[in-house]
Structures are given as C-alpha cells and as structure tokens.
Amino acid sequence: MSEKLQKVLARSGMGSRRKMETVIAEGRVSVDGKVVGLGERVTPNQILRMDGHTVKYVTEESTVCRVLAYNKPEGEVCTRSDEAGRNTVFERLPRLNGSRWISIGRLDINTSGLLLFTTDGEFANRMMHPSREVEREYAVRIFGEVDDAMLNRLRMGVKLDDGEAKFLSIKESGKEAGGEGINRWYHVVLTEGRTREVRRLWESQGVQVSRLMRVRYGQLHLDKQLPQGGWVELGLKEVNHFRKLVDMPKETESKVRVDEKKEKNTQARIRRAVKKHSEYRKATTSTARRRTATTARKRTRD
C-alpha cells in the first residue's frame, strides 16, 4: 500500500514530518527521477532521493524506534552543525548506521536539561504536536517581584506575539532550590513547544528568567545522576509508554541489552565520555584560535 512521502522520509530518519513537508515543497525530493510536491504517495518499490542522495525506504514494520534521553548543557545549540562553531547537541550522541537521530523538540542555547532524541520521524512528529498535549516541566529561576495576581494571569493565559499561551501549573520551589532575595525558583508545566515560550510568558509580566532547565517530558523525569552532556537510551517499557501516549503501536524490539548484567559504574563511564568530549572540544577550539591569531598577524605584517 502507498504512504505519504513525508511520512516515509521522516521514518527513514531524514527529519521530522513537518520538516520533510518543507523539504518537499522546496522541490528537493524526487521519486523515480521526477521532482514531486506535497501530496505525493509512494510505495517500497520506488526510488526516493533527497538533495540528489538516495533515501532508503524503511517500512513501518522494519523500523526499530529508539529513544535517547540527553542532559543538555547550556551553550549547546540544537542543530546538526553551526556556522559559528558552537557545540551542538548531536556531537555527543552515539553514531548510527543507516539512520540518524532526530531531536524531539528543541531547547534554546541558554536552556539546559532533558532533551529527547529518536530514530523514528513519525514518532518525533507526534510527540511534538500540540494536539497530543504531552507535558513538559521546567525549573525556572525568576529575577523580579512575583505576586499572586501575576501567577493567576500566567495560569489563565496571556497574549504573546504568536497567540495566547499559559502554564498548566506553577509551583514555587524557592526553598528546595536555594532561591533568595528577589530570585525565586518555580516549576512550571505546559504542553506546547513554541520558541522560547517559557521565557516569553514570564517576560510578558515584566520579570526576567535568569536560569531555565527542563526537568520532565511526559512521565520521564531528568535523572539527577545523569551528568550534563551525558545520554542514556530508554528501554522497551519506557519507549512503549511514549508510543502509547501518542497512539502508536507497541515496539517489539530494543537495542538496549537486557540479557546481560548491567555495566558496573555506568555513571562513571558516562562522565569519562563527557570529559573526553569536552577535552577534545577545548583542544580543537584552542587550535582554531591559534590559527586565527597567526593569520591575523600575517595580514598585519603584509
């Protein structure tokens, strides 16, 4: 049976379904050598190409949905590459053969915490779609005076540039998070993933967000033992919890080994990997800076 082209491309790991719709509309996809547009349906015996490169047709039955939980540090961007040379969230992830990791939503460069990745584009699309109402919880430190009237407005809904928005719940957690003076910590929950939505909601009330961290996505909480820059792959039970949440069939396979004893000192292993990557980034950045300085000196002499 035929399937929508964007759905097949997303499942093959080329990106989210929404992104694939954009790629198709831009005329970057061909089927059997002919550039096609949105609305095209395809079958497994057809040849798909994106930007001239052949895309392997992955059927729904043969797809293994894998999900990673990553503890994003501040300073990393949610793109595969960055022209400014900034660290990206994809650099630390395990390499894949025949597919690639797709981020389930994004966190801006100044936001840290829980970020999910998957190999299944259709699953990523459903998890991100507002209609699914998957909860995201953030710990946020506010600089400024906050009163009950402000909190009520944020719960009832305020108008932003891209429409009305609100928090499903707001809970002060200043004591446990160490807030003092006019710095207060709150835990907020919403079900959308609009750009900088949490920050913009607070800023609409005349206060500033001085720190922001995502601590939960759906029922998955950020593991306090997972260091920043570290990742862990979810087991079959956790994956199927999310798939049920977005009305997708249960996964029957997992790449997580459950037939062996858990590796000892897992956290120590993760920390070693994070440290090794950080040292590599530091070394390459220093080398690039030296080259830039040398080039500048040469130009000055010339």
CA distances from 27 to 21, 24, 51, 52 (A): 10, 5, 9, 11
CA distances from 10 to 3, 4, 102, 107, 190 (A): 12, 10, 9, 21, 26
Q: Which of 32, 108, 162, 223 is catalytic?
A: 108
- DSSP-derived letter for residue 153 is H
82 noted as active-site residue? no
- DSSP-derived letter for residue 88 is B
- DSSP-derived letter for residue 132 is G
Instruction: Give SS3 for 189.
Output: strand
Number of H helices, E strands in the chain: 8, 17
The pair of structure tokens assigned to 51 is 């930007």
User: Residue written as tokens 């990206």?
Assistant: 88
- Long-range Cβ pairs for the range 245-252 (8 Å, 24+): 245/127, 245/132, 245/134, 245/218, 246/123, 246/126, 246/127, 246/132, 246/134, 247/126, 248/122, 248/123, 248/126, 251/64, 251/65
Check residue 201 and give left, alpha or beta (phi > 0: left; psi -120 to 50: alpha). alpha
Residues with a known catalytic role: 108
